[in-house]
Amino acid sequence: MTNELQPTNRETVYKDLFIADNLIKELTSQRKTIAVAEGCTGGSILNRITVPGATKVFRNGVIVYSQEAKKGLGVKKETMDQYGEYSPEVVIEMAKQVRRLRNDNLAISTVGEVGSSNPHSWVHIGYAFDNGDAFSQSMLIGNEGKALNKSMVANTSLVNGLMMLTDRKRSLVSVMAPLLPEMTNPFATEKLTDLSRQLVTFLRHHQMTISTIESCTGGAIADVITNSPGSSKVFNQGWVVYDENAKIMLGVPLSALSFGQVYSPQVSMEMALALRRKTNTDIVISTTGTMDIMDRRPYHGDTPPGTIYYSIIVDGHVITKCLKIEADKRYFMKTKITEHILIDLLSSLYASHNIFFKAINQK
Protein backbone atom coordinates (compact mmCIF):
# COMPACT_ATOMS: atom_id res chain seq x y z
CA MET A 1 0.00 0.00 0.00
CA THR A 2 1.39 3.43 -0.97
CA ASN A 3 1.56 6.56 1.10
CA GLU A 4 -1.45 7.92 -0.79
CA LEU A 5 -3.64 5.12 0.55
CA GLN A 6 -2.77 5.21 4.21
CA PRO A 7 -5.82 5.63 6.45
CA THR A 8 -6.17 8.82 8.44
CA ASN A 9 -4.28 8.63 11.74
CA ARG A 10 -5.19 11.13 14.46
CA GLU A 11 -1.67 11.44 15.83
CA THR A 12 -0.34 12.19 12.33
CA VAL A 13 -3.05 14.78 11.77
CA TYR A 14 -2.22 16.60 15.01
CA LYS A 15 1.45 16.78 14.04
CA ASP A 16 0.58 17.92 10.54
CA LEU A 17 -1.62 20.76 11.82
CA PHE A 18 1.00 21.91 14.34
CA ILE A 19 2.53 24.30 11.81
CA ALA A 20 -0.75 25.79 10.60
CA ASP A 21 -2.03 26.27 14.13
CA ASN A 22 1.12 28.17 15.12
CA LEU A 23 1.02 30.28 11.96
CA ILE A 24 -2.60 31.30 12.62
CA LYS A 25 -1.78 32.13 16.25
CA GLU A 26 1.20 34.24 15.19
CA LEU A 27 -0.85 36.13 12.59
CA THR A 28 -3.56 36.72 15.19
CA SER A 29 -1.09 38.04 17.77
CA GLN A 30 0.36 40.45 15.18
CA ARG A 31 -3.08 41.38 13.84
CA LYS A 32 -2.06 40.45 10.33
CA THR A 33 -3.98 38.64 7.59
CA ILE A 34 -3.01 36.04 5.00
CA ALA A 35 -4.14 35.08 1.49
CA VAL A 36 -3.22 32.02 -0.57
CA ALA A 37 -3.01 31.25 -4.31
CA GLU A 38 -2.25 27.60 -5.06
CA GLY A 39 -1.24 26.00 -8.31
CA CYS A 40 0.42 22.61 -7.92
CA THR A 41 -0.56 22.12 -4.26
CA GLY A 42 -4.22 22.25 -5.25
CA GLY A 43 -5.78 23.22 -1.92
CA SER A 44 -3.33 21.53 0.47
CA ILE A 45 -2.24 24.84 2.02
CA LEU A 46 -5.81 26.11 2.32
CA ASN A 47 -6.95 22.82 3.81
CA ARG A 48 -4.27 23.13 6.49
CA ILE A 49 -4.63 26.76 7.51
CA THR A 50 -8.42 26.69 7.89
CA VAL A 51 -8.09 25.55 11.50
CA PRO A 52 -10.13 26.94 14.44
CA GLY A 53 -9.41 30.65 14.77
CA ALA A 54 -8.46 31.10 11.12
CA THR A 55 -11.49 33.28 10.40
CA LYS A 56 -9.76 36.13 12.24
CA VAL A 57 -6.79 36.26 9.88
CA PHE A 58 -7.68 34.33 6.71
CA ARG A 59 -10.07 35.94 4.23
CA ASN A 60 -9.85 34.12 0.94
CA GLY A 61 -7.73 31.82 -1.16
CA VAL A 62 -7.81 30.53 -4.70
CA ILE A 63 -6.64 27.37 -6.49
CA VAL A 64 -5.59 28.26 -10.04
CA TYR A 65 -4.68 25.08 -11.89
CA SER A 66 -5.01 26.27 -15.50
CA GLN A 67 -3.37 29.16 -17.34
CA GLU A 68 -6.81 30.69 -17.84
CA ALA A 69 -7.42 30.60 -14.09
CA LYS A 70 -4.05 32.24 -13.45
CA LYS A 71 -4.88 34.97 -15.97
CA GLY A 72 -8.23 35.42 -14.24
CA LEU A 73 -6.35 36.07 -11.00
CA GLY A 74 -4.31 38.75 -12.73
CA VAL A 75 -1.12 36.97 -13.84
CA LYS A 76 -0.02 38.47 -17.15
CA LYS A 77 -0.04 36.19 -20.20
CA GLU A 78 3.26 37.79 -21.23
CA THR A 79 4.88 36.60 -18.00
CA MET A 80 3.77 33.00 -18.57
CA ASP A 81 4.82 33.13 -22.23
CA GLN A 82 8.24 34.55 -21.45
CA TYR A 83 9.18 32.55 -18.36
CA GLY A 84 6.83 29.56 -18.41
CA GLU A 85 3.72 28.79 -16.37
CA TYR A 86 5.79 26.96 -13.73
CA SER A 87 8.37 29.66 -13.03
CA PRO A 88 9.50 31.85 -10.12
CA GLU A 89 8.28 34.93 -11.99
CA VAL A 90 4.75 33.53 -12.26
CA VAL A 91 4.60 32.39 -8.63
CA ILE A 92 5.59 35.88 -7.46
CA GLU A 93 2.87 37.46 -9.60
CA MET A 94 0.34 35.02 -8.16
CA ALA A 95 1.29 35.98 -4.61
CA LYS A 96 1.11 39.70 -5.41
CA GLN A 97 -2.27 39.43 -7.11
CA VAL A 98 -4.00 37.37 -4.41
CA ARG A 99 -2.63 39.67 -1.71
CA ARG A 100 -4.10 42.69 -3.49
CA LEU A 101 -7.61 41.22 -3.63
CA ARG A 102 -8.24 42.12 0.02
CA ASN A 103 -5.01 44.01 0.81
CA ASP A 104 -3.70 41.27 3.11
CA ASN A 105 -0.38 41.49 4.94
CA LEU A 106 1.06 38.23 3.63
CA ALA A 107 0.34 35.98 0.65
CA ILE A 108 1.69 32.54 -0.23
CA SER A 109 1.54 30.94 -3.70
CA THR A 110 2.76 27.74 -5.41
CA VAL A 111 3.46 26.51 -8.95
CA GLY A 112 5.22 23.46 -10.39
CA GLU A 113 4.71 19.77 -10.98
CA VAL A 114 4.07 17.54 -7.98
CA GLY A 115 2.73 14.44 -9.74
CA SER A 116 5.38 14.00 -12.38
CA SER A 117 7.13 10.65 -12.94
CA ASN A 118 10.32 12.67 -13.24
CA PRO A 119 12.55 11.76 -10.25
CA HIS A 120 13.50 15.43 -9.88
CA SER A 121 10.96 18.22 -10.35
CA TRP A 122 11.08 21.87 -9.31
CA VAL A 123 8.31 23.53 -7.35
CA HIS A 124 8.32 27.26 -6.63
CA ILE A 125 6.75 28.96 -3.60
CA GLY A 126 6.01 32.68 -3.70
CA TYR A 127 5.65 35.16 -0.84
CA ALA A 128 4.33 38.73 -1.05
CA PHE A 129 4.08 41.31 1.72
CA ASP A 130 2.14 44.52 2.24
CA ASN A 131 5.36 46.57 2.21
CA GLY A 132 5.91 45.64 -1.45
CA ASP A 133 8.49 42.91 -0.86
CA ALA A 134 8.04 39.68 -2.83
CA PHE A 135 10.30 36.73 -3.54
CA SER A 136 10.22 33.05 -4.44
CA GLN A 137 11.71 29.88 -3.01
CA SER A 138 12.55 26.88 -5.22
CA MET A 139 12.13 23.34 -3.95
CA LEU A 140 13.33 20.12 -5.59
CA ILE A 141 11.00 17.17 -5.05
CA GLY A 142 11.02 13.52 -6.06
CA ASN A 143 8.35 11.15 -7.34
CA GLU A 144 7.06 9.91 -3.96
CA GLY A 145 3.45 10.40 -5.08
CA LYS A 146 1.24 13.40 -5.74
CA ALA A 147 -0.49 13.52 -2.35
CA LEU A 148 2.78 13.25 -0.43
CA ASN A 149 4.54 15.85 -2.59
CA LYS A 150 1.64 18.28 -2.18
CA SER A 151 1.85 17.79 1.57
CA MET A 152 5.60 18.40 1.69
CA VAL A 153 5.37 21.62 -0.34
CA ALA A 154 2.39 22.89 1.69
CA ASN A 155 4.15 22.27 4.99
CA THR A 156 7.35 23.90 3.75
CA SER A 157 5.47 27.03 2.66
CA LEU A 158 3.73 27.32 6.03
CA VAL A 159 6.94 26.75 8.01
CA ASN A 160 8.69 29.48 6.04
CA GLY A 161 5.70 31.80 6.36
CA LEU A 162 5.79 31.36 10.12
CA MET A 163 9.54 31.89 10.25
CA MET A 164 9.18 35.16 8.33
CA LEU A 165 6.71 36.44 10.90
CA THR A 166 8.84 35.59 13.93
CA ASP A 167 12.32 35.94 15.30
CA ARG A 168 12.21 32.38 16.62
CA LYS A 169 13.79 30.74 13.58
CA ARG A 170 16.20 28.49 15.40
CA SER A 171 13.71 27.29 17.99
CA LEU A 172 11.05 26.71 15.32
CA VAL A 173 13.37 24.66 13.15
CA SER A 174 14.41 22.56 16.12
CA VAL A 175 10.77 21.84 16.94
CA MET A 176 9.86 21.04 13.34
CA ALA A 177 12.88 18.88 12.52
CA PRO A 178 11.64 15.64 14.16
CA LEU A 179 8.15 16.10 12.70
CA LEU A 180 8.94 16.77 9.04
CA PRO A 181 10.06 13.20 8.15
CA GLU A 182 6.75 11.81 9.49
CA MET A 183 4.49 14.14 7.52
CA THR A 184 2.50 12.43 4.79
CA ASN A 185 -0.99 13.49 3.84
CA PRO A 186 -3.44 12.61 6.63
CA PHE A 187 -6.37 13.70 4.50
CA ALA A 188 -5.68 11.11 1.79
CA THR A 189 -7.68 8.18 3.17
CA GLU A 190 -8.20 5.10 1.02
CA LYS A 191 -11.86 5.93 0.51
CA LEU A 192 -11.20 9.55 -0.49
CA THR A 193 -8.43 8.48 -2.84
CA ASP A 194 -10.76 6.00 -4.51
CA LEU A 195 -13.55 8.57 -4.86
CA SER A 196 -11.19 11.20 -6.27
CA ARG A 197 -9.72 8.82 -8.83
CA GLN A 198 -13.17 7.70 -9.96
CA LEU A 199 -14.28 11.31 -10.34
CA VAL A 200 -11.20 12.43 -12.26
CA THR A 201 -11.38 9.37 -14.53
CA PHE A 202 -15.06 10.01 -15.27
CA LEU A 203 -14.53 13.71 -15.97
CA ARG A 204 -11.57 13.08 -18.25
CA HIS A 205 -13.46 10.39 -20.18
CA HIS A 206 -16.44 12.70 -20.70
CA GLN A 207 -14.29 15.83 -21.20
CA MET A 208 -15.92 17.67 -18.31
CA THR A 209 -14.45 20.27 -15.96
CA ILE A 210 -15.01 21.05 -12.28
CA SER A 211 -14.50 24.02 -9.94
CA THR A 212 -15.06 24.46 -6.21
CA ILE A 213 -16.02 27.33 -3.92
CA GLU A 214 -15.65 26.39 -0.26
CA SER A 215 -16.29 28.15 2.99
CA CYS A 216 -16.53 25.77 5.97
CA THR A 217 -14.55 22.96 4.29
CA GLY A 218 -11.66 25.32 3.69
CA GLY A 219 -10.14 23.77 0.55
CA ALA A 220 -10.56 20.13 1.61
CA ILE A 221 -12.64 19.14 -1.43
CA ALA A 222 -10.23 20.74 -3.90
CA ASP A 223 -7.28 19.19 -2.07
CA VAL A 224 -8.72 15.69 -2.41
CA ILE A 225 -9.66 16.06 -6.08
CA THR A 226 -6.24 17.42 -7.03
CA ASN A 227 -4.48 14.51 -5.31
CA SER A 228 -5.39 12.31 -8.28
CA PRO A 229 -3.13 12.02 -11.34
CA GLY A 230 -4.71 13.73 -14.34
CA SER A 231 -6.71 16.20 -12.23
CA SER A 232 -5.05 19.15 -13.98
CA LYS A 233 -7.00 18.15 -17.11
CA VAL A 234 -10.37 18.58 -15.39
CA PHE A 235 -9.94 20.86 -12.34
CA ASN A 236 -10.32 24.47 -13.40
CA GLN A 237 -10.08 26.50 -10.20
CA GLY A 238 -11.16 26.60 -6.59
CA TRP A 239 -11.88 29.39 -4.11
CA VAL A 240 -11.89 29.36 -0.33
CA VAL A 241 -14.07 32.27 0.78
CA TYR A 242 -14.09 32.41 4.57
CA ASP A 243 -14.79 36.13 4.58
CA GLU A 244 -18.29 37.28 3.61
CA ASN A 245 -16.86 40.16 1.56
CA ALA A 246 -14.88 37.58 -0.41
CA LYS A 247 -18.16 35.85 -1.26
CA ILE A 248 -19.57 39.18 -2.42
CA MET A 249 -16.42 39.82 -4.46
CA LEU A 250 -17.13 36.63 -6.44
CA GLY A 251 -20.75 37.55 -7.08
CA VAL A 252 -22.82 36.32 -4.13
CA PRO A 253 -25.58 38.92 -3.57
CA LEU A 254 -25.26 40.97 -0.39
CA SER A 255 -28.96 40.44 0.27
CA ALA A 256 -28.40 36.67 0.55
CA LEU A 257 -25.85 37.20 3.34
CA SER A 258 -27.83 39.68 5.44
CA PHE A 259 -28.84 38.97 9.03
CA GLY A 260 -26.76 35.82 9.44
CA GLN A 261 -28.12 33.99 6.42
CA VAL A 262 -24.58 32.98 5.42
CA TYR A 263 -25.39 29.49 6.79
CA SER A 264 -28.27 28.66 4.48
CA PRO A 265 -29.19 26.68 1.36
CA GLN A 266 -29.74 29.99 -0.45
CA VAL A 267 -26.15 31.13 0.10
CA SER A 268 -24.81 27.71 -0.86
CA MET A 269 -26.75 27.90 -4.13
CA GLU A 270 -25.70 31.50 -4.81
CA MET A 271 -22.04 30.60 -4.23
CA ALA A 272 -22.25 27.77 -6.77
CA LEU A 273 -24.06 29.94 -9.33
CA ALA A 274 -21.55 32.78 -8.87
CA LEU A 275 -18.58 30.52 -9.58
CA ARG A 276 -20.38 28.90 -12.50
CA ARG A 277 -20.80 32.34 -14.06
CA LYS A 278 -17.12 33.11 -13.44
CA THR A 279 -15.67 29.85 -14.72
CA ASN A 280 -18.32 28.28 -16.99
CA THR A 281 -17.19 24.84 -15.80
CA ASP A 282 -19.48 21.82 -16.16
CA ILE A 283 -19.58 21.03 -12.43
CA VAL A 284 -19.38 23.36 -9.42
CA ILE A 285 -19.33 22.36 -5.75
CA SER A 286 -20.01 24.89 -2.97
CA THR A 287 -20.09 24.58 0.84
CA THR A 288 -21.13 26.79 3.73
CA GLY A 289 -21.98 25.99 7.32
CA THR A 290 -20.63 25.59 10.82
CA MET A 291 -17.95 23.18 11.95
CA ASP A 292 -16.89 22.48 15.54
CA ILE A 293 -17.55 25.93 17.06
CA MET A 294 -20.77 27.91 17.45
CA ASP A 295 -20.73 31.25 15.60
CA ARG A 296 -21.38 33.87 18.29
CA ARG A 297 -21.90 36.83 15.97
CA PRO A 298 -25.31 38.56 16.05
CA TYR A 299 -27.90 36.73 13.92
CA HIS A 300 -25.54 33.74 13.43
CA GLY A 301 -26.14 31.73 16.61
CA ASP A 302 -29.18 29.78 15.38
CA THR A 303 -27.09 27.29 13.37
CA PRO A 304 -25.74 24.46 15.55
CA PRO A 305 -22.19 23.15 14.94
CA GLY A 306 -22.03 20.42 12.32
CA THR A 307 -24.71 21.94 10.07
CA ILE A 308 -23.44 22.00 6.49
CA TYR A 309 -25.15 23.22 3.35
CA TYR A 310 -23.71 22.25 0.00
CA SER A 311 -24.67 22.71 -3.64
CA ILE A 312 -23.63 20.83 -6.75
CA ILE A 313 -24.21 22.16 -10.24
CA VAL A 314 -24.27 19.22 -12.64
CA ASP A 315 -26.01 18.71 -15.99
CA GLY A 316 -27.23 22.29 -15.78
CA HIS A 317 -29.14 21.72 -12.55
CA VAL A 318 -28.40 22.92 -9.01
CA ILE A 319 -28.67 20.33 -6.24
CA THR A 320 -28.68 21.85 -2.74
CA LYS A 321 -28.70 19.75 0.43
CA CYS A 322 -28.22 20.02 4.18
CA LEU A 323 -25.80 17.66 5.93
CA LYS A 324 -25.65 17.33 9.71
CA ILE A 325 -22.64 15.63 11.26
CA GLU A 326 -21.37 15.18 14.78
CA ALA A 327 -18.97 17.88 15.95
CA ASP A 328 -15.37 16.59 16.03
CA LYS A 329 -11.89 17.91 15.33
CA ARG A 330 -12.17 19.99 12.21
CA TYR A 331 -9.92 17.81 10.03
CA PHE A 332 -12.12 14.76 10.58
CA MET A 333 -15.30 16.71 9.96
CA LYS A 334 -13.83 17.87 6.64
CA THR A 335 -13.10 14.24 5.75
CA LYS A 336 -16.70 13.15 6.39
CA ILE A 337 -18.18 16.10 4.50
CA THR A 338 -15.89 15.60 1.51
CA GLU A 339 -16.68 11.88 1.34
CA HIS A 340 -20.40 12.58 1.45
CA ILE A 341 -20.28 15.24 -1.29
CA LEU A 342 -18.07 13.20 -3.64
CA ILE A 343 -20.33 10.16 -3.23
CA ASP A 344 -23.36 12.36 -3.94
CA LEU A 345 -21.71 13.83 -7.05
CA LEU A 346 -20.51 10.47 -8.39
CA SER A 347 -23.90 8.91 -7.76
CA SER A 348 -25.53 11.64 -9.86
CA LEU A 349 -22.98 11.38 -12.65
CA TYR A 350 -23.07 7.59 -12.79
CA ALA A 351 -26.87 7.44 -12.65
CA SER A 352 -27.13 9.85 -15.59
CA HIS A 353 -24.86 7.53 -17.60
CA ASN A 354 -26.35 4.25 -16.34
CA ILE A 355 -23.11 3.23 -14.60
CA PHE A 356 -23.10 1.13 -11.42
CA PHE A 357 -21.40 2.94 -8.54
CA LYS A 358 -20.20 1.61 -5.22
CA ALA A 359 -17.67 3.50 -3.11
CA ILE A 360 -15.15 1.74 -0.89
CA ASN A 361 -16.76 0.89 2.46
CA GLN A 362 -20.04 2.38 1.30
CA LYS A 363 -22.91 1.17 3.45
- Could you give the CA distance from residue 187 to residue 43 in angstroms, rounded to a whole number? 11
Predicted confidence at residue 187, as pLDDT, reads 59
> Which regions in the chain score pLDDT beneath 70?
1-16, 116-119, 167-188, 259-260, 295-301, 356-363
- Could you give the CA distance from residue 107 to residue 127 in angstroms, rounded to a whole number? 6
Please say whether the beta carbons of 110 and 141 come within 8 A.
no
pLDDT in tens, 273-305: 999 999 999 999 999 999 877 766 665 657 788
What are the two backbone dihedrals, phi and then psi, of residue 64, each rounded to the nearest 5 degrees?
Answer: -115, 95
pLDDT in tens, 41-70: 999 999 999 988 898 999 899 999 999 999
From residue 308, alpha-carbon distances to 2, 283, 296 in Å are 32, 19, 17
- Angle value at C-alpha 256, between 264 and 322, nearest 5 degrees: 15
CATH code: domain 17-182 is 3.90.950.20
Fold match flag (17-182 vs 190-352): yes
* CATH value of 190-352 in 3.40.50.20, 3.90.950.20, 3.40.50.150, 1.10.10.60: 3.90.950.20
Nearest to residue 272, comparing CAs of 214, 208, 203, 190? 214
Predicted confidence at residue 259, as pLDDT, reads 66
Domain ranges within the chain, ordered by starting residue: 17-182, 190-352
Listing DSSP states for 66-102 in one string gives SHHHHHHHT--HHHHHHH-SSSHHHHHHHHHHHHHHH
The mean pLDDT value of the chain amounts to: 85
